[in-house]
Amino acid sequence: MSDSASGIWPFRSQSEDIHKNSPGGREPVKWEVVERTMGLMNATIIAGRLQTEGIPVRVWQEGAGRALGLTVGVLGTGYVAVPEEFVDLAVSILEESEYIDFDEEE
């Protein structure tokens, strides 16, 4: 390999570090949907709540729905997914959050 190209590719130790932060390391991670929302923005807000608890999260919306700006229907659905080992914790956090009354005066 030439000297100019050698700087492009990570060293072996650097490429191994990439997998340390992945929930499954080098093993494949099975993601499960824990919430469906109207639009990607709502899904992103929910993902932020789960991330504050240290749960790895992925959000997505169908590509056609994003391109058309849809927030309702099948193409407008936003999905929140977590690794299967975090499903129970994520669901309990989301259920707990549903009962918070933000209009309550202190």
pTM for this predicted structure: 0.67
Total structural domains in the chain?
A: 1
Distance CA 23, CA 81 (A): 13
User: Has residue 61 been placed in a domain?
Assistant: yes
pLDDT by position in tens, the chain (length 106) = 455 544 454 444 444 544 555 555 677 889 999 999 998 999 999 999 999 999 999 999 988 888 888 778 889 899 999 999 999 999 999 998 876 555 556 5
CA nearest to 54, candidates 91, 80, 86? 86
User: Has residue 13 been placed in a domain?
Assistant: no
User: Has residue 23 been placed in a domain?
Assistant: no
Q: What is the CATH number of the domain that holds 56?
A: 3.30.70.1530
User: Has residue 68 been placed in a domain?
Assistant: yes
Range of the domain at 39: 30-98
